[in-house]
Structure 1
């Protein structure tokens, strides 16, 4: 009798657990923020607040030489078959209205704000990709070229030539919603305002990346961020380090 009661109680407990899981899954299904946060395995507490752009588990494939609407979702992605709505979530729960992007792969710092009229939502994941692409489409300045070493000059020219020979981008998202017309604000630190160039023979900032033009996600690296900050400058409230990957 006692063992039978134990099995009966265990069965009831399993039913309650299953019901609770069904309820939680239903809530996640209708909440893109919770869905994004819970769908992607993240490796540490510092990257958990950058879903779904946290390295190294970025669920999309994106070549920064192409517009943001060209990203594709591999079969292994939890968002496979969907449009860009999973990127229309705040980058962080704090909903920052300005973040700074830096990288060990390029020498610039980009301050990004949300799209006009979207201050309450803060900077979104889609804002980051859109602004990062726009920033890297700017022509390399004469000063930047002059500061680069000779081997970097050769790398820049090779990258420029590869870019000019690329095929037109094909929208890899399953929805045209990935194509956006309104851009988030992006301010370039210590730089003049130059109109972006695209398929021109000019060397662009994206060419600085060489073959490492695949978006690899965002990470927190306070040590690098402090070292990267120019002496005397005020420390930004939110800084993220962009990682890149080599072309396949």
Structure 2
């Protein structure tokens, strides 16, 4: 009995933490719903209700409460905007000048950056992410980073490329969701970067390595490596889109 009560307390604390994070979404919602200030509280209430109903789907091992709530908020806002979308024939006269920095826009960019960076970190793993983070803070001193992590120059480049490709795929998948695109093979395919012929390989993913190697005029070993990378990126794109659509 006592054990059951303890589990309930943990669950209640988790729900409270998720709901507290809804209030932190207000600047983001205000920015996205600009021109419709009366709808901000309505949207936030919808976010609270969605978080309440989906709280059991939150997995602390896959991300923070803030990231979970932000994903839900993005989707609630997107659906609300789609319901009231009106095409404009011309720009409104009171449109703010882009020369003036918008603090809300800056905050939204930070929210977006936090979201995609959290996803990338989850996909590449703590070790690779630690290396990339240190590289970003070292002003390009790759030798020091390589020495600290006992990596060769080639190994460091491999990690950087892996994280870069993952980041491209994650951001493309999030953009597809924001654009309200359906979960189709074509949408997933276009999340894969063209760099290194990876998208072309992804299009031929059903062919064997020798056939792909012949088509791309590369060695079979290189073809197999690109096939593995393309499959990984396709899986990442599908996972991100499915998670965001379900939020």
Query: What's the TM-score, normalizing by structure 2?
Result: 0.25
Report which of the two has the higher share of helix. Answer: 2
Report which of the two has the higher share of strand. Answer: 1
Higher relative contact order (CA 8 A, sep 6+): 1
Query: What's the TM-score, normalizing by structure 1?
Result: 0.25
